Amino acid sequence: MTRKIFTLLVVIVLAFETSAQDKVFSASDYLNRELSPKSISGLSWRPGLNSFTWIENESLMQKTVINPSKADIILKLDELNLKMKELKENELTRFPFISWTGSNSFYFTAENRIFLFDLSLSKLMKVNEYDGSGENVTVSGKSLNVAWTLENNLFVAIDGQAIQVNGDNDREIVYGQIPSRNEFG
């Protein structure tokens, strides 16, 4: 008998709780930025380590899986800009999106140049550059070579040297692009 009463009470309480959830969102609620989820910019795993990194407040941040409550600053934008000045490059206005190449090194692109930063040596190197007017730009994560298209031509930059891959200028042949984009209109 007590079990039936308990079950009846639970059903009644749940019925009242679910009816309280009938609030309809208005247009202003829908557009309210405070209700949108917070996103993490540049989130990635650091290879070979039990840690992940992200970009916050113009700094590269890191947390470990072992101690996720403590966040460390790996590199600040000001420090990166000092290294850019040493290479006589333009300063960055925001922390760039990075791709890890190893546990202590990452690369990023700025103004059609590929830079490699080594955290263990605190050293920035310009490793490649490519034509800024190109399209379909792809960077190889291992070699840091760059491929891109310019009109119907395919180019590759190796150590800053641009090499045209296709040897002809036939306008009917399109290189370096996905055929299905243009094949059927």
pLDDT, tens digit, for every residue of 77-136? 999 999 999 999 999 999 999 999 999 999 999 999 999 999 999 999 999 999 888 888
In this prediction, residue 184 carries a pLDDT of 56
Q: What is the mean pLDDT of residues 143-171?
A: 85
In this prediction, residue 108 carries a pLDDT of 96
**Do residue 10 and residue 94 come from a single domain?**
yes
Number of domains in the chain: 2
In this prediction, residue 156 carries a pLDDT of 92
Residue 32 CB-density burial (10 A; 0-12 exposed, 13-18 middle, 19+ buried)? exposed
What's the rounded Cα separation, in Å, for the pair 42 and 45?
10
Res 8 pLDDT > 80: no
- First-to-last CA distance in the chain? 72
In this prediction, residue 51 carries a pLDDT of 94
Contact between 86 and 124 under an 8 Å Cβ cutoff? The reply is: yes
* Residue that has been written with the tokens 């920035």 in this structure: 124
Distance of CA 185 to CAs 4, 172, 177, Å?
67, 15, 14
In this prediction, residue 22 carries a pLDDT of 59
CB atoms within 10 A of CB 63: 17
**Do residue 60 and residue 102 come from a single domain?**
yes
Residue 181 structural domain: 130-185
Res 172 pLDDT > 60: yes
Higher pLDDT, 179 or 151: 151
**Do residue 123 and residue 170 come from a single domain?**
no
**Do residue 40 and residue 51 come from a single domain?**
yes
**Do residue 49 and residue 88 come from a single domain?**
yes
Work out whether the CA dihedral 63, 66, 67, 68 comes out positive or negative: positive
**Do residue 114 and residue 140 come from a single domain?**
no
**Do residue 166 and residue 123 come from a single domain?**
no
Listing DSSP states for 31-95 in one string gives T-GGGSPP--EEEEEETTTTEEEEEETTEEEEEESSSTT-EEEEEEHHHHHHHHHHTT-PPPSSP
Of 129, 145, 160, the residue that ends a domain is: 129
**Do residue 18 and residue 36 come from a single domain?**
yes
Contact between 138 and 126 under an 8 Å Cβ cutoff? The reply is: no
In this prediction, residue 107 carries a pLDDT of 96
Contact between 29 and 35 under an 8 Å Cβ cutoff? The reply is: yes
Q: What does pTM read for this prediction?
A: 0.75
Distance of CA 104 to CAs 23, 95, 100, Å?
50, 17, 8
**Do residue 104 and residue 176 come from a single domain?**
no
